[in-house]
Amino acid sequence: MDDTQQESRAVEDQNTGNGAERTKLAVLTSGGDAQGMNAVVRAVVRTAIHEGAVPYGVHEGWRGAVEGGNLIREMGWSDVSGILNLGGTTIGTARCSEFRERAGRRRAVKNLVRLGIDRIVAIGGDGTLTGADALRSEWPSLVDELVQAGELEPDLAARHHTAHLAGVVGSIDNDLVGSDMTVGADSALHRILEAIDALASTAAAHQRTFIVEVMGRNCGYLALMGAISGGCDYTFIPEMPPPVGWEDELCDKLRAGRAAGRRDSIIVVAEGAKDRAGAPIHAADVRDLLTERLGEDVRVTSLGHVQRGGTPSAYDRWMPTLLGYSAALDVLRADEHHQSHIIATRHNRVTAIPMMEAVANTRAVKNHLEQGEYDEAVASRGASYKSMISTFEKLSSPVHPDHSSPAEHSLPSSAGRRPRVALLHAGGLAPGMNTAARAAVRLGEDRGFTMLGVDGGFPGLLDERIHELTWAQVDLWTGTGGAELGTRRTIPTIDQYYALGRVLEQHQIDAVLMIGGFSGYQAVWEMLHERNRYPAFKIPFVCVPASIDNNLPGSELSIGADTALNNVTETLDRIKQSASASRRCFVAETMGRRCGYLALMSGISSGAEQVYLNETGITLDQLTHDAKAMVATFTRGRRLYLVVRNEAASPYYTTDLITRVFAAEGDGIFDVRPAVLGHMQQGGNPSPFDRTLAVQLTSAAIDELSAQITAGKQTSSYVGMREGELQVHPVSHMDEQIDMETRLSYDPWWLGLTEVLYAVGDRSYQEELTEFTL
C-alpha cells in the first residue's frame, strides 16, 4: 500500500461509524534487538484489534517514522501469526540520527498524523524511550508548526493534537532501574548458560580455565547470574569492581579450587567491567595474568551477538505478551491527563513506571560508576541484586581442608560438635533440585553445619541411607538435571514415626532441610502434629519448594516450574511445525495434577487457541462451541489449531475423549491428534531462572535454619518468594495458604492471565464467541 492509498484509507476510517474516527495505534522496535520483541509486537497488534482499534507497524524503528511511506503499514491479525517463537524483530529495527533532532521528529509527527495515528507503543532501550518521550512532549508544538506551514489540515491536526505513548524495554542488558526483568534478558541468560555448561565439560577434560566474556554494558546482571547459575569461580561486574590486589585473590581462589579437586575453572567477565581505578578489565587481560602466574592453559570465549539471537525462552514469550497487552491498553485508554509510562515487570507483576523517571534513574547508575559510588550503583539494582553478589561470594569461596568456616564458631554446638543438618528430597522430580542441594551444602558449610545427604527421600531416611556431603562431592551438581540424592513421593506413616525418631536420634540430626514437592510438605505437616508423642521431631524442619506443578504454599514459583514450561513450549513449537504441512488440530496434555499453571502459561507462550484447566473446568457446551469454531476456522483456511489441556482438567472430558469429539465434528475437514507430553516435562538441565531461584530459596532456608539453631528454636517452616520478596512461613499455618485436599493454593496469581490468552491467541476466543450461537 503506497502513501496515497494509505492516506485514502485513513480518510475512510475517519468517516466510518457515524462520523467517529477509529483509534489508531503504532508499534515500533528501535535500537538493539532482543528476543521477545516479536511477542510484544504480536500482543500490541492483536490487543488493538481486540479493542476495536487499527494497529500500524512502523518498520525499521524511528527511521520508519521519519521516512514514512511504506515503512508505516497497517497490520492485521495474520500479519503477526507465527512470530512468537522467532528471535529478532519482524518489523525491523534501526538507529536513527535524524530522530534525535527536532526536525526529524517533526517529519515523524507529520507522517503519523497524516495516517490518523496519535498513540504509540515503542519497544527498545533507554535511547528509544528517551526519544519517545521527547516526541510526546514536543508533539503539540510540532503539530502547530505543521499546520502553520500548510503541511497538515487544521481539522486533522485538531483531532490529533496530543500523543499518547507507552514504552516497553527490550534489552538483554536488564539495566532498567525499577524493573525486575527486561525483554530478552532471560533468553540471553539461556545462551550464556548453554555456553558455560558446554565449556565446563571440555575444561574439566583438560584441567583448563575458561574466561567467558558477556554483554551487559554498565549492568552486570548477565555476568553475575551467569556465574551463579553456571557454578563459576569468579566474575567481574561493573557495579562492584574487584578490590585492589584482586590479581592475588583470583589466583589464590583458583589454586584452592584445584587443591580441592576441581578440574575446571570458569571466570565470567562483563563487557563493562573495570577496576577500582576505572581502568577496563578485559578477558584478554585476565587470561594473560593467569597464564603468567599459574602457568595454566587459559582460553577466552567471547559470546558476542549470539546472546541476542535464537528462539526466545518461555519467559520471553509469556511476559512480553503481558507487557504488550498492557502497553496497548495503556495508550488506547489514555485521556488528556495521561503521562508516558514504561510498562515493566516488578515482583512478577506488570507495572507502569513514569517513563522519564525510569530513564533518569537508569542513567544515574552510570554516573554512580563514574564517581566510584559502587554501593549506590548496587543499591540501584535492588536488594536482591546485592544479596546475590554476597551469595556468589559464599558459593565460590574456597573451602578449608577441614570444611570449616569462620561462621561456625558463632553457632552453638551440640556435645562439642557442629550442627548436623540432613538434606533430602521428597515428591516428584523437579529440575533444579541438584542446584538447590549444591547451594545448601556450600552455604551450610559456610554457616558451620555438617551437611548430611539422605538418598531416596523419607524412605531412605528410615533405611538410614545417610552420608556426609562435602563441597567437592556436590561441586558439579549446579547445572545437572535429575536429583543425585534421589526423590520419592512416599512419606512416613504414623506407625513408622517411632523408627523415624530413632534414626534422627542415632544419627544426631539437629535439623532437616527438605527440598521437594507437596508430599514433602505434607510429611512435615503431619510430623509437626505428632511432636508431643515423638520428641525426636522437635528439631527445625525447613521446606524449599521444588515442583513442576507450581502448587506449593507461600511461593508464587517453585523450583523446576520454569524448566518444565520451557520443555513444554519447545515441544509445542515442534508439534505446531509438524502440522504445517497438513490441516490438523492437536490436543496436548501437560502435567501439573490439578494445578493449571503449566497448561495456561504454555498456552500463552506457544500461541494456543484454547486451554482447558481444572480451575475453570470443562463443559459440554464449551466443547460444542469450540468444535463449531474449529470447523469454521479450518473452512476459512486454517492449517493448525492448538489446544492445551491440564492433565486433571476434568475426570470425564479426557484428552482422548476431546480428541474423538473434535475428530467427529471435523468430519474430514481436519485431522485431530492427541499429544500427551509426559515425563519429558521433568527432564533436562534446569533453566537459568530455576538455578537462580534455587540459590535464592536455599539461601533463605539456610538463613532460617541458622537463626533457629542459634536461638535454640524448633520451628517447622517453609520458604518461598511472593511478589519478589523471600518469605518464611510456619508450617502450622500452611492450611491457610493451600487446600490440603486438592493441593491447590488459594487465589493463584496466574489464573487471571486467561483473558490475555483469549485476547491475543492465534484465533481470538472472544472473536469466535461473536460468530457462533449455541
- Asked if 164 contacts 334 with a C-beta cutoff of 8 angstroms, the reply is yes
**Do the beta carbons of residue 517 and residue 523 sit within 8 Å?**
no
Say how far apart CA 42 and CA 487 lie, in whole Å: 41
The catalytic residues are 173
d(CA 223, CA 174): 11
CA–CA distance, 438 with 433 (Å, rounded to integer):
9
Smallest CA-to-CA distance from 770 within 674, 632, 671 is with 632
Report in angstroms the alpha-carbon separations of 343 from 89, 346, 515, 598, 749: 19, 10, 35, 25, 19
Report how far apart, in Å, the C-alpha atoms of 330 and of each of 78, 503, 663, 745 are: 23, 60, 41, 30
**Helix pair angle (688-711, 185-206), 10° resolution:** 80
- Signed CA dihedral, 649, 655, 660, 663: sign only: positive
What is the Cα–Cα distance from 546 to 560, expressed in whole angstroms? 6
**In the beta sheet, which residues pair with residue 334?**
none
149, with CB counted inside 10 A (0-12, 13-18, 19+), is exposed
Nearest C-alpha neighbor of 131 from the set 161, 158, 163? 163
Among all chains, which residue has been given the C-alpha cell 470447523? 631
DSSP state letters, 602-629: HHHHHT-SEEE-TTT---HHHHHHHHHH
> Please, are residues 70 and 1 in contact by the beta-carbon 8 Å criterion?
yes
What are the beta bridge partners of residue 25? 55, 119
For residue 478, give the amino acid letter. Answer: T
Give the HSE-up count for residue 687: Cα atoms under 13 Å, Cβ half-sphere. Answer: 29
Which region, left, alpha or beta, applies to residue 295 given φ > 0 means left and ψ of -120 to 50 means alpha?
left
Burial 685-712 (b: 16+ CB within 10 A, else e): bbbbbbbbbbbbbbbbbbbbbbebbeee
Is the four-CA dihedral 664, 666, 670, 674 of positive or negative sign?
Answer: negative
Strand duo 24-29 + 119-124: pairing: parallel
